[in-house]
Structure 1
């Protein structure tokens, strides 16, 4: 059932419950009688478990997949804002580390639910799309933010910090809003949001970078600092592509109505 999609240990619960209920208490039986009783108990328990799985509590791993993806994307939005802020102000390293750990655990949980969802598809209990692309693309989006964190976590020197604060803030806010809206699309099985606002913010950021280069603002900076600036731009472009791919995955789920549990 749904709980087994969250924790596989619950799969044997119906069988165990029936065996416990049918087991005689304080009854001394011969080895043959005991063996026959145990075979009957396990058989009945298995039948009950099958009935529970197919009739009473049908599998809902795909619903758990979309809901967990939604929560994960909201975490990623907060993660993105913190990481991008570290390029122009002192980073909150404790908060960044906390979200890094939380999103890693979320990916692990998502992968476990996807495994159960694959079983649903194999058993023809669900006709939802393949869960693997959702997990892979979600992981790539997280990795993009990890790449940003490696380039950041220390403010850029002047004048880059002051010049880039506003455009990077817009990119961060637009990125978080998109991820939150995309999470809602997964949870509610609706079409994904547009990337238009994020694209506009990203264009404004690249325009500011071009202005700084034209004005020679990067010439006094050390090579590693300039490398951080261009790594930032590359990672943002990569993140945009992976966010678009994840929106495509949301579109696939939007074409399949959610099953009420």
Structure 2
């Protein structure tokens, strides 16, 4: 029983962000319904639904959802109410025609501007509710605006007051997860130089990274929205997100270059240094992710530098021995492009270390330096020439 309770507690701690959201949503729904009943609103349902819509995972996302939903509601209510008041629709045919006039323009505007997607629903509600409850269109507009205002205010207040979650804090865990995905994909792809990969392998190996990067950038926008509203403080998310995106591009390039295995004689020479590069970069990226997640200082980059230097020296030796001259054109091109990609990755890892240092909550470590080795023209560079 003790072991079971510990596992449950660990699971809850690992899902505390989602648990906090569930609590916020519940509180927002209950409070919105209570306020709507106290105000004797026509349809308390819409206050509750609005509170659910605007209560999001982070404060920044809640701000965006509230702004968009209120803009759409106000626009749809004004447009739908104006049509209902100005155009007679006593017959069913007239009501259907008016419904077309309401939905078509608002749906078109919503497709052009996602912030106005709520306008179509609001326009339809304002038009049809008077027919069901025998009220005036103007009363329908007022009721709708009050209902949405109650729901939006309640949801936004819950986002601020009930176990608030800042997007800026969530960036750490999400960025660390993406870095770990990049590390795993890089390590698996580089094996292709000695074993070869089928054409679908790069897509399979990198599956999920693109979606994770997109979600991370959306979270970055939420974090910057919070910073602009002075709701959170901390480093600018831009450098970190751009560096992760560049590392993602490096992995894509490595995947293209590792589709065809190197000839056996070249493999024999480069297998050991390539394994060193793979292990060093994989370990460094995972250590960087752990440091970012915990707010620690970045790991020392020296092992990556030494591994790439060893690979560079062996590449230079292979070229001196003329082993590259006999390679087919496409294989030689991929071989040289790999050198360029690894050099780009080295530079981007250095940028990542600087970003992790900026996000660190601890004093800078003296051991950290992306310039711990002289930046000479290495064989990684020469392999790309």
Separation in 2 of the partners of 1:125 and 1:25?
Answer: 33
The correspondence for 1:248, drawn from 336, 344, 354, is 354
Q: Deviations over 1:95-139 (max 9, x none)?
A: 532232311111111111111111111111111211122211101
Report matched runs for 1:142-181 at 5 Å: 142-181=248-287
The aligned residue for residue 204 of structure 1 is 310
The aligned residue for residue 183 of structure 1 is 289
Maintained 8 Å contact 1:87/1:155: yes
Separation in 2 of the partners of 1:30 and 1:214?
Answer: 89
Aligned-residue offset at 1:35? 5.8
Maintained 8 Å contact 1:82/1:91: no
Secondary structure class of the residue paired with 1:88:
helix
Maintained 8 Å contact 2:186/2:282: yes
The aligned residue for residue 49 of structure 1 is 155
Separation in 1 of the partners of 2:339 and 2:141?
Answer: 69
The aligned residue for residue 129 of structure 1 is 235
- Closer, same or farther: CA 225–38 of 1 in aligned 2, 3 Å: closer
Aligned-residue offset at 1:48? 2.2
Q: TM-score, normalised by structure 2?
A: 0.58
**Unpaired segments ≥5 residues, structure 2:** 1-16, 45-132, 364-385
- Closer, same or farther: CA 126–43 of 1 in aligned 2, 3 Å: same
Aligned-residue offset at 1:93? 5.4
The aligned residue for residue 117 of structure 1 is 223
Aligned-residue offset at 1:212? 0.9
Q: Deviations over 1:187-213 (max 9, x none)?
A: 111111111111111111011111112
Report matched runs for 1:1-261 at 5 Å: 14=28, 18=32, 22=37, 23=41, 30-31=135-136, 38-91=144-197, 94-255=200-361
The CA RMSD measured in Å over matched residues stands at: 3.1
Dislocated runs of 4+, deviation >6 Å: none
Separation in 1 of the partners of 2:31 and 2:208?
Answer: 34
Maintained 8 Å contact 1:128/1:256: no
Would you say how many aligned residue pairs link Structure 1 and Structure 2? 250
- Closer, same or farther: CA 243–38 of 1 in aligned 2, 3 Å: same
**Unpaired segments ≥5 residues, structure 1:** none
Q: Deviations over 1:32-67 (max 9, x none)?
A: 776665554444334323321222242421122111
Maintained 8 Å contact 1:91/1:153: yes
Secondary structure class of the residue paired with 1:63:
helix
Separation in 1 of the partners of 2:30 and 2:260?
Answer: 55
Separation in 2 of the partners of 1:150 and 1:231?
Answer: 10
Separation in 2 of the partners of 1:209 and 1:133?
Answer: 32
Maintained 8 Å contact 2:190/2:254: yes
